[in-house]
């Protein structure tokens, strides 16, 4: 009787399996840490208050909290979310009316680049008009810009992560439909949230103005057929917020403000429109016929080549035998 030898794995294969196993464990631990950082909340808060509950649900990003309540990005849902869920006026460490001291105005917006890969640039002017506030604690503030993208374009999350690693922004992320291959007629909208640091003790400074420049890389999706060969994608006005935290306090005691534009300011930018080349409906029949003929010819050529070389190999084997 033949004895069966035990199956032994090569050392290199064993080491590879061990590395894959521990890499998977490390990825799970990292993902859990990120989720716990985003979803952690002070247990002293009362969950019965919907605004405080919403405040606890986003640690870094406003859009993270939005997508916990809504499946898709709709303008009506987003406006309802801002009005009902965000914790405006719930601040206990800074005055509620600080947003009246700071005004933001969008100077210009533009698309730069060529082809299907562009950059959406925005220049935002920060106006600070401090008033007498007694015993204002040391604080740190950041501006939050939310770009609600139309369905015809998307932002690559890996590209945004590279910007974050380079320190271009303090935080940046994309939420919503991040499928990079979906055409526009099968995809949902997405949003890019950008956080930019505007420094310490913002409201203790003298009156001043300074500009913030935001540049977001975007990519066009495959557009549907159109009569004129172009599909127009229009960008709306970004949403502007400000978040301030007090030095020595926990993140749960930071304050969120909705910042409006300067009233009466003259806008120097128009609607940003991206004309994406698309196929024309009148050409659909011709393109389909040529595509079918090319595919059929390629299939016949492949089959004929396979038969030809199989005959050659058979004749060689007959001669050798």
Distance CA 185, CA 149 (A): 14
Terminal Cα distance for the chain, rounded? 38
State residue 198's pLDDT score.
81
Burial status of residue 163 (CB atoms within 10 A of its CB: 0-12, 13-18, 19 or more): middle
State residue 78's pLDDT score.
93
**pLDDT level of residue 146 (50, 70, 90 thresholds):** very high
Mean pLDDT within 96-106: 69
Give CA separation, 216 vs 61, 94, 182, 242, in Å. Answer: 17, 32, 20, 19
Please give the distance of CA 76 from its chain centroid, rounded to a whole number. 20
Give CA separation, 43 vs 40, 47, 52, 61, 102, in Å. Answer: 9, 9, 11, 20, 32
Distance CA 153, CA 116 (A): 9
- Checking if the pLDDT of 31 tops 50, the result is no
Whether the CA torsion 256, 265, 106, 103 is positive or negative: it is negative
State residue 4's pLDDT score.
44
| b/e per residue 45-68 (b: at least 16 CB within 10 A) | eeeeeeebbbbbbbbbbbbbbbbe
Q: What is the mean pLDDT of the chain?
A: 74
DSSP state of 228: S
State residue 29's pLDDT score.
43
- Checking if the pLDDT of 166 tops 60, the result is yes
Instruction: Tell me the two tokens of residue 284.
Output: 């659909």
- Checking if the pLDDT of 3 tops 90, the result is no
Instruction: Return the domain boundaries, the chain.
Output: 78-281
Instruction: Tell me the two tokens of residue 174.
Output: 């994309």
**pLDDT level of residue 19 (50, 70, 90 thresholds):** low
Mean pLDDT within 45-62: 49
Answer whether 146's CB lies under 8 Å from 255's CB.
no
Instruction: Tell me the two tokens of residue 311.
Output: 């005959």
Instruction: Tell me the two tokens of residue 244.
Output: 């301030």
Distance CA 275, CA 177 (A): 21
State residue 287's pLDDT score.
80
- Checking if the pLDDT of 156 tops 90, the result is yes
- Checking if the pLDDT of 24 tops 60, the result is no
- Checking if the pLDDT of 256 tops 80, the result is yes
């Amino acid at each position: 009787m033949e004895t069966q030898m035990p199956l032994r794995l090569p050392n290199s294969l064993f080491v590879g399996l061990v590395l894959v196993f521990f890499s998977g464990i490390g990825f799970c631990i990292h993902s859990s840490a990120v989720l716990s950082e985003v979803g952690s909340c002070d247990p002293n808060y009362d969950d019965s208050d919907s605004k405080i509950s919403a405040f606890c649900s986003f640690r870094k990003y406003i859009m993270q909290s939005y997508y916990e309540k809504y499946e898709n990005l709709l303008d009506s849902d987003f406006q309802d979310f801002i009005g009902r869920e965000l914790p405006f006026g719930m601040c206990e460490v800074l005055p509620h009316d600080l947003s009246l001291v700071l005004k933001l105005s969008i100077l210009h917006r533009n698309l730069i680049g060529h082809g299907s890969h562009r950059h959406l640039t925005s220049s935002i002017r920060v106006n600070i008009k401090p008033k007498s506030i007694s015993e204002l604690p040391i604080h740190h503030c950041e501006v939050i810009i939310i770009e609600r993208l139309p369905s015809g374009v998307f932002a690559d999350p890996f590209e945004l992560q590279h910007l974050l690693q380079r320190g271009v922004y303090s935080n940046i992320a994309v939420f919503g439909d991040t499928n990079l291959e979906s055409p526009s007629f099968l995809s949902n909208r997405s949003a890019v949230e950008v956080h930019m640091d505007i420094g310490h003790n913002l409201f203790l400074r003298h009156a001043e103005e300074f500009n913030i420049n935001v540049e977001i890389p975007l990519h066009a999706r495959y557009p549907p057929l159109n009569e004129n060969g172009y599909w127009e994608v229009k960008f709306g006005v970004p949403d502007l917020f400000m978040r301030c935290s007090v030095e020595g306090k926990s993140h749960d005691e930071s304050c969120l403000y909705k910042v409006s534009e300067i009233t009466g300011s003259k806008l120097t930018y128009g609607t940003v429109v991206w004309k994406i080349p698309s196929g024309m409906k009148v050409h659909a029949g011709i393109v389909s016929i040529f595509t079918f003929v090319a595919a059929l010819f390629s299939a016949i050529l492949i089959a004929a080549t396979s038969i030809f070389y199989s005959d050659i190999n058979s004749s060689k084997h007959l001669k050798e035998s």
